[in-house]
Structure 1
């Protein structure tokens, strides 16, 4: 074999190596963990800072890699054609095509990309400096292709990850053991936090325990002792005019000092529309330094109240203190029969049962409200209703409010 063909073989080997490097570089930067790079960069790792910069502007890096990869692959194919033609004559063209295709596929694509996928962090740190230099060298070409892409690209920008996809990722991470179930639930609750209105978590007016401003000290003391609440709303004439709240701590301190006028210890409360998001309500309550807020209906009347604890429970789950009576909201009687409290939200009930949260459509958020809507009147004890495959029996009604129900689901729906 003459020296020219030896030189051509050397060029083919070198271009295959470069093809492998470009391919692994592309995969490494497209799959590297940016959060980890950010942490390394914050600790002073200069290579990580460069790698993070490339990963954040991946379009420029991708254009550079693709241009470089095409240059080496075209060079490889051209040199291989000349080599095989000189060795085999006219048959060399077809043979060179087959050989180069196999070589590029195995050594220029599959193997380097598979390796880079498993070692993205290590390779991105290794390639950061040389790729930065190449991006600078190819800058005019990169700008041209980016301009061309912007002309062809739609103006509508889609999110890189949707909320549902993010929840799926969290479930996958939990299955891998990176997150505990409690941590996973906390993250998912945080994602849903911005979608919940105060209307969905309020304590309804019918269950609000308040005190009239002119009530006697003895009445208020008995109310605190009997109900064991840490704070009670104060109203004038009716609950539609809640003017503030008093805390048990301030009330009993006032009593110990011989005081008898609660107007001195009444604290302001916030007033919110029932459409206000709990994320906004939380910020406002923190700003106003209040633990209780009144929720108003469209006519300005009191629809219910919410507390800071109610909002925080949407993130971390139920919070119980030593005075709380722990009553389960849902008791499983069998695989398709459940005992449910009326104040349980429809979405929570369906989630606990394991059914699609959109299975029940209602203008109400609670199970009790949903059943009242179905019957079109205030339910009575032992009254029944049906909604699709849901068979409902009202077990307990108190003060026009549904407190407990039995729900049986047909086997076809329960198996879904």
Structure 2
């Protein structure tokens, strides 16, 4: 017959062994939460904020160093997370088997540990790490470094494996890490965070697409182009300049052939001095293709010191439009009002006041 005191001692000893196992299990769940939070924090952290913090914080500089080693960083986190989860499952199984037996123990382990790790080891730490990514990384980077160097041999092994896979499948490592669309999204996110105001955001977004815009997208079509016909009299030309407020106008033949450009100031000087003909003040004009990028046109305007160009379609062999430096700049900064626009606005305001009176 079994001695009751002996049985109670065995149960007590068994329960006593569960206490350190329970403590180890809690530590493993906390480590699982740490690795999950670290993974989310590294993927959510803003490089802009970290670089700003790095000016004064050494921990931020260390975080940036590990972000540059993202592959090794990720393998370290995944190795650590898998190890602690496997150990947690093993210890939990031992505890539950001792408490509820070999039949019920594994079932309780599977259900209970899954719920605990899901809530406390995955969802909660990831939500918090996403919200406070930079702060979390700066506070825990030294603790993370312990595991980074602990798993460093495994990182070297995975680096070799990655190199082998890249060689076998001929993966190009020089592919861009950031696409144009991704950069636009980053700029929008920075604006939403209050780092950029609306004007700064718009200017950056426009500068991104600036090089993709073609001359044909911004040119004035020939049907809308104001030009000087060489058969026009001086009075007609004077009226044309006054009516349209253009500082330079194309000079053309009756058949639509572009001969050059006439500057308003040169024309009025000619009228005052009366010592030359209209042909004498015609300046050379630039011809560009419709599919020329406006970034290239901008450089051409600077090089030639010109502000106006005619657009020539070489397939149809005809002039199809006109483009100015102002058209190009408006793609970056929006509508530009020159001194003539301002005068027109004043005239409109004055006329509207007169009508009201």
Contact 1:210 1:239 in 2 (8 A): no
Contact 2:231 2:254 in 1 (8 A): no
* Cα deviation, residue 254, structure 1: 6.6
**Unaligned ranges ≥5, structure 1:** 327-416
Q: Which of residues 320, 323, 329 is equivalent to 1:306?
A: 323
Q: Distance in 1 between matches of 2:20 and 2:204?
A: 59
* Cα deviation, residue 162, structure 1: 6.5
| Per-residue deviation, residues 294-337 of structure 1 (Å, max 9, x unmatched) | 211115532221001112223444334454478xxxxxxxxxxx
**Unaligned ranges ≥5, structure 2:** 1-11, 346-357
Q: Distance in 2 between matches of 1:124 and 1:264?
A: 72
Q: Which of residues 240, 243, 256 is equivalent to 1:226?
A: 243
Structure 1 residues 178 and 48: alpha-carbon distance in aligned structure 2, compared to 1, 3 A threshold = closer
- Relative to total residues, which structure has the larger strand share, 1 or 2? 1
Q: Distance in 2 between matches of 1:288 and 1:166?
A: 33
Instruction: Name the residue aligned to 1:270.
Output: 286
Instruction: Name the residue aligned to 1:60.
Output: 72
Greater relative contact order (Cα < 8 A, sep 6+): 2
Contact 2:310 2:323 in 1 (8 A): yes
Instruction: Name the residue aligned to 1:343.
Output: none
Q: Which of residues 290, 293, 310 is equivalent to 1:294?
A: 310
Pairing of 1:310-321 with structure 2 (within 5 A): 310-321=327-338
Instruction: Provide the alpha-carbon RMSD of the alignment.
Output: 3.9
Pairing of 1:8-407 with structure 2 (within 5 A): 8-41=21-54, 43-91=55-103, 92-132=105-145, 134-148=147-161, 151=165, 155=171, 163=181, 188-211=205-228, 220-234=237-251, 239-243=256-260, 245-252=261-268, 260=276, 268-298=284-314, 299-321=316-338, 323-324=340-341
* TM-score in terms of structure 2 length: 0.72
* TM-score in terms of structure 1 length: 0.63
| Per-residue deviation, residues 59-118 of structure 1 (Å, max 9, x unmatched) | 321211111111111222222233333444424333333332222122111111111111
**Aligned residue pairs, count:** 323
* Structure with max Cα Rg: 2
Contact 2:250 2:258 in 1 (8 A): no
Q: Distance in 1 between matches of 2:52 and 2:264?
A: 47
| Per-residue deviation, residues 338-364 of structure 1 (Å, max 9, x unmatched) | xxxxxxxxxxxxxxxxxxxxxxxxxxx
Structure 1 residues 32 and 85: alpha-carbon distance in aligned structure 2, compared to 1, 3 A threshold = same
Contact 1:30 1:58 in 2 (8 A): no
Contact 1:54 1:128 in 2 (8 A): no
* Cα deviation, residue 181, structure 1: 6.6
* Cα deviation, residue 121, structure 1: 1.8
* Cα deviation, residue 231, structure 1: 1.5
Q: Distance in 2 between matches of 1:45 and 1:300?
A: 64
Structure 1 residues 140 and 266: alpha-carbon distance in aligned structure 2, compared to 1, 3 A threshold = farther
Contact 2:245 2:340 in 1 (8 A): yes
